[in-house]
Structure 1
Amino acid sequence: MQLTNIFPIISLGTPFFIILSIVSIVIGLCLIFFGFVKQKNHKKSTLATCSIVLGFLIIITHTFQIIVRTI
């Protein structure tokens, strides 16, 4: 008995992951917007700084994933 018969491997297509990356980029933009608004209202806010950095990281990584998947 092979392992593939016990655990079926589901393969999702490239368009699904591209759409998922685009949604993640939008979430990253929302985090950056939230961080800037929060930072404008409260000076030296740790939550604002963390959300801005996390938003930039999400945008960079998912942009790179889109570029790699389209090549």
Structure 2
Amino acid sequence: QKPLYRGWIVLMFPLAWLMSVLVLGILYFGLMTPIACISRFAGRDPLQLRSPANSYWIRRPPGPTAKARYFRQH
């Protein structure tokens, strides 16, 4: 019974790999492509790359002292 099991595993491993790649690919492209198209058609720009600016740097207010940052990192 063990040789039968090993033979089955050897035969099914490539099929299982192929099916997982296909299913994940279909899920990824089936979800991400429509979301990206809808976002693009709606004019959404999450990175704000279309604004005519000299720099995309966002100034932040100074944080707490360096010593206190180690205790409250988030």
Bigger-Rg structure (1/2): 2
TM-score by length of 1: 0.40
Q: Which structure dedicates a bigger proportion of its chain to helix?
A: 1
TM-score by length of 2: 0.38
Relative contact order, CA 8 A, sep 6+: which one is greater?
1
